[in-house]
């Protein structure tokens, strides 16, 4: 029984404490005319009236204010039961409302202090996350730039790779531009003879791991665009089912004859890619083009994401540079 009463009292004071101070001060002021009306309606003789004093409603407003504020000037004095009772009730109401007002002010101050501390902690977390992101940006920019370089190599014929001075990835490439993807990339940073598509898939894997690691180590919610792009890139790579098919050449421990057969098959595929003019809906006869079609879509989507991420991360890095 005592525990139930205690819980009810706690709940009551919790509710009362959550009432805004303006409500209590409003009630404090509002009861003044109410009690003044009661004093005005009481029978004559209930109060001792000072010499020259009046008994109109304005006088009782004055008496009500003096009473509720506990000033007690003594010019108007309750003489009998009813006037004394009503006066005592008003004094108690004034004290209670004033106490509840002060309690509400204290509760509001505590609430403001808590919110201020929460906001402070939030800002500290954001600064810590931004510091972590800034430390990762150089590595991420290098990885994204490398990925876009291999996207350029795979989607650009060898003749244009050699002749072209601009090595920037072109997002408007056509399906037929993938014809030389089995040839070396020819990039200054890649002196190997490994096919460009092989290098692209390996780079896509390491880029996906870097972006996934970033999501796990940094809370990116304050950069929703970066968070969404990181998630999309990783998801696209995980759903890229043709990665193993296209990079099979260097995963096989093939003999000389097998290697020659693979190269011959790739040459035929490259010829078919170069001459293809239709859409990306391949029939049974063109089933060998399906992995290439998936690669085409993969580069289109992730090339756009990588370009956007590169711009966003560069903007964040430059924003922290000293002016």
Residues 76 and 167 grouped into a single domain: no
Q: State the pLDDT at residue 167.
A: 76
Beta bridge partners of 48: 77
Same structural domain for residues 93 and 173?
no
Same domain, 137 and 274: yes
Please give the Cα distance from 200 to 177 (Å, whole number): 15
Domain shared by 70 and 190, yes or no: no
What gap in Å lies between CA 225 and CA 313, rounded to an integer? 11
Q: Kindly state whether residues 88 and 159 are assigned to the same domain.
A: no
Tokens of 221: 């919610």
Residue 123 inside a domain? The answer is no
Confidence label for 202 from pLDDT (cuts 50, 70 and 90): very high
Same domain? For 134 and 111 the reply is: no
* Angle at 158 (CA atoms; ends 139, 302), nearest 5 degrees: 40
| Mean of pLDDT over the chain | 86
CA angle 106, 111, 115 (to 5 degrees): 150
Q: How many domains does the chain have?
A: 2
271 shares its domain with 214: yes
Give the mean model confidence (pLDDT) for residues 300-304.
96
* Predicted local distance difference test score (pLDDT) of residue 249: 54
Q: What is the pTM of this model?
A: 0.70
> Residue 137: inside a domain, yes or no?
yes
Q: Are residues 190 and 105 in the same domain?
A: no
Domain hosting residue 112, numbered range = 2-118
**Do the domain assignments include residue 111?**
yes
pLDDT tens-digit readout, 74-103:
899 999 999 999 999 999 999 999 998 888
143/204 same-domain check: yes
Please state, in angstroms and rounded to a whole number, the distance separating the CA atoms of residues 230 and 65: 67
Cβ contacts of 2 within 8 Å, gap of 6 or more: none
From residue 172, how far is each of 143, 155, 273, 299 by CA, in Å?
22, 10, 17, 11
Q: Residue 8 pLDDT more than 60?
A: yes
295 plus 249 within the same structural domain: yes
Query: Which of 118, 142, 174 is the last residue in one of the domains?
Result: 118
**Element (H or E) spanning 48, and its range?**
strand 47-48
Summarize pLDDT for 204-217 with one digit per residue, the tens. 999 999 999 999 99
Task: Please report how many Cα atoms fall inside a 13 Å half-sphere around the Cα of residue 213, on the Cβ side.
Answer: 12
- Among the ranges 9-18, 94-103, 132-141, 254-263, which has the highest mean pLDDT value? 132-141
Residue 107 and residue 49 in one domain: yes
61 and 166 both lie in a single domain? no
Choose one of 87, 118, 149: the last residue of a domain. Answer: 118
- Residues 111-148 have pLDDT tens digits of 889 999 999 999 999 999 999 999 999 999 999 999 99
Count helices and strands in the chain by DSSP H and E runs: 10, 2
- The yes-or-no verdict on residue 20 having pLDDT over 90 is no
Residues 6 or more apart whose CB falls under 8 angstroms from that of 257 comprise none
Residue 78 CA to its chain's centroid (Å): 65
User: DSSP string spanning 255-301?
Assistant: -HHHHHHHHHHHHHHHHHHHH--S-S---GGGGGGHHHHHHHHHHHH
Residue that finishes a domain, picked among 118, 147, 179: 118
Report the CATH number that the domain containing residue 109 is assigned in CATH. Answer: 1.10.287.70
For residue 41, what pLDDT band results from cuts at 50, 70 and 90? very high
The answer to whether residue 124 sits within a structural domain is no
Q: Give a yes or no: residue 237 inside a domain.
A: yes
Is 217 a member of any domain? Answer: yes
Q: Does residue 26 have a pLDDT over 60?
A: yes
> 10 Å Cβ neighbour count for 305?
22
Q: Does the pLDDT at position 250 exceed 70? A: no
| DSSP annotation of 248 | -
């Amino acid at each position: 029984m005592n525990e139930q009463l205690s819980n009810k009292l706690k709940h009551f004071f919790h509710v009362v404490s959550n009432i805004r101070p303006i409500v209590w001060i409003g009630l404090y002021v509002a009861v003044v005319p109410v009690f003044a009306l009661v004093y005005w309606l009481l029978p004559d003789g209930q109060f001792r009236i000072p010499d020259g004093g009046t008994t109109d409603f304005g006088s009782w407003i004055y008496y009500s204010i003096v009473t509720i504020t506990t000033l007690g000037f003594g010019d108007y004095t309750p003489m009998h039961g009813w006037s004394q009772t009503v006066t005592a009730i008003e004094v108690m109401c004034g004290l209670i409302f004033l106490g509840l007002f002060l309690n509400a002010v204290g509760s509001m101050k505590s609430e403001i202090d808590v919110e201020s501390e929460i906001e402070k902690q939030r800002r500290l977390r954001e600064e810590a996350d931004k510091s972590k992101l800034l430390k990762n940006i150089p590595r991420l920019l290098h990885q994204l730039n490398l990925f876009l370089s291999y996207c350029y190599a795979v989607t650009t014929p060898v003749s244009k790779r050699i002749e072209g001075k601009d090595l920037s990835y072109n997002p408007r490439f056509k399906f037929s531009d993938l014809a030389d993807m089995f040839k070396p990339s020819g990039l200054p940073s890649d002196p190997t003879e490994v096919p460009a598509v092989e290098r692209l898939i390996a780079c896509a894997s390491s880029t996906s791991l870097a972006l996934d690691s970033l999501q796990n180590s940094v809370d990116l919610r304050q950069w929703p665009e970066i968070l969404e792009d990181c998630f999309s890139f990783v998801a696209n790579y995980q759903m890229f089912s043709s990665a193993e098919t296209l990079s099979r050449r260097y995963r096989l421990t093939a003999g000389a004859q097998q290697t020659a057969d693979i190269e011959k098959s790739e040459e035929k595929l490259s010829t078919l890619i170069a001459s293809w003019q239709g859409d990306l809906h391949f029939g049974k006869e063109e089933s060998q083009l399906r992995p290439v079609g998936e690669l085409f879509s993969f580069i289109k989507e992730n090339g756009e994401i990588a370009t956007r991420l590169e711009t966003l991360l560069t903007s964040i890095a430059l924003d922290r540079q000293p002016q």
